[in-house]
């Protein structure tokens, strides 16, 4: 009887051991981690190797600003006047600003009013190369321009996440978080960008030139693609466990365009334009000073009397 019991226990242990490998394979992905930057002396340096020969590219990044700073950058690749970056606009607004300046001095700037909101995740994708720039916010096309070059036309010295290339190490840096930074050697389509917005890539996707997902606590700057372009965390930059938002918390942006004319139909330049909820205009008591809704915009018409 004693023998039989021992045998059964031994068999049970054996069966458990056998089941271990399949358990490992079916484990969910490790918890997500994001890059956390405190705004003072923190950034990530990527090695330029692998990017400088890209004649077309797609750059993707998730970003959440804790505080806005016009000198801070989400990313900034190149050198002064030969650079490509995403940052924010003048103080007091929360616009998304894209800038590219190439070797020929061609300077192109796109601004998306209200593109960023404090403490909210936003996904930015910049497609460059033949066919021109296409700028996506949360998977929606929000701006284009006719710059047809790519990373190969920039200076090759700096590939920064979280700071600009212009100044010294005392430069203001991004106060916020970044995640799932991807550089592709191809022009990703709108559908490809949208489909993969909330996915964590494996690193082996065709066309992927670099993937910094900050998910490896032992080497947060590791390039998770097969290309080995590992980044270096500077200052107090660190990776922390944090989930990216679910799709329901990342609404696609709305784009409203219009032209302001006078009663004769003549265009009015530099007119103030406010887009807000009806209460803002019809409160009947201007002393109440009702604040515009978070989605409202305030701006002015341009030289063509247009507001976007």
Q: Where along the sequence are the contacts to Ca ion (CB under 5 A)?
A: 32, 179, 213-215
Q: Which residue has the tokens 């700096």?
A: 158
111 or 179: whose CB is closer to Ca ion? Answer: 179
User: Which of 60, 164 has the CB closer to Ca ion?
Assistant: 60
The CB-of-35 to Ca ion minimum distance in angstroms stands at 8
| Helices assigned H by DSSP within the chain | 2-25, 190-195, 278-282
If the CB atoms of residues 139 and 220 are measured against Ca ion, the closer one turns out to be 220
Alpha-carbon distances of 83 from 44, 79, 106, 160, 297, rounded to whole Å? 17, 5, 11, 11, 29
Nearest distance, CB of residue 85 and Ca ion, angstroms: 22
User: How far is residue 56's CA from residue 190's CA, in Å, rounded to a whole number?
Assistant: 15
In the bound complex, what is the minimum distance in angstroms from residue 182's beta carbon to Ca ion?
11
Q: How far is the CB of 180 from Ca ion (least distance, A)?
A: 6
Question: Residue 86 to residues 18, 165, 266, 281: CA-CA distances in angstroms?
Answer: 51, 12, 36, 34
CB of 47 to Ca ion, least distance (A): 20
Q: What is the DSSP letter of 146?
A: -
Nearest distance in Å: CB 226, Ca ion: 18
Cβ atoms of residues 174 and 200 within 8 Å: no
Tokens of 128: 């460059």
In 3-state terms, what secondary structure has residue 209? strand
| Spatial separation of the C-alpha atoms in residues 126 and 44, rounded to whole Å | 19
The residue number with the shortest CB distance to Ca ion is 213
């Amino acid at each position: 009887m004693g023998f039989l019991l021992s045998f059964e226990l031994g068999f049970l242990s054996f069966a458990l051991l056998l089941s271990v490998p399949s358990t490992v394979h079916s484990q969910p992905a490790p918890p997500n981690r994001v890059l956390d930057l405190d705004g003072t002396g923190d950034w990530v340096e990527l090695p330029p190797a692998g990017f400088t020969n890209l004649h077309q590219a797609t750059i993707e990044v998730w970003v959440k600003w804790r505080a806005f700073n016009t000198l801070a950058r989400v990313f900034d690749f190149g050198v002064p006047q030969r650079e490509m970056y995403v940052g924010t606009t003048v103080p007091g607004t929360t616009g998304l600003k894209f800038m590219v300046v190439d070797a020929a001095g061609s300077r192109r700037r796109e601004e998306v009013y209200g593109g960023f909101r404090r403490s909210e995740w936003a996904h930015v994708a910049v497609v460059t190369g033949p066919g021109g720039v296409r700028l996506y916010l949360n998977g929606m096309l929000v701006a284009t321009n006719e710059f047809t070059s790519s990373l190969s036309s920039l200076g090759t010295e700096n590939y920064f996440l979280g700071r600009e290339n212009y100044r010294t190490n005392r430069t203001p840096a991004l106060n916020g978080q970044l995640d799932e930074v991807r550089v592709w050697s191809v022009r990703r389509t709108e559908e490809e960008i949208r489909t993969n917005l909330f996915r964590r890539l494996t690193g082996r996707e065709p066309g992927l030139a670099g993937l910094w997902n900050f998910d490896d606590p032992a080497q947060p700057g590791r390039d998770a693609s097969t290309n080995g372009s590992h980044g270096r965390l500077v200052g107090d930059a660190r990776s922390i466990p944090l989930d990216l938002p679910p799709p329901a918390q990342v609404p696609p942006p709305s784009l409203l365009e219009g032209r302001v004319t006078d009663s004769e139909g003549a265009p009015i330049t530099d007119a103030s334009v406010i887009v807000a909820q009806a209460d803002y205009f019809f409160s009947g008591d201007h002393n109440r000073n009702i604040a515009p809704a978070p989605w409202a915009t305030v701006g002015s018409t341009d030289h063509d009397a247009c507001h976007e």
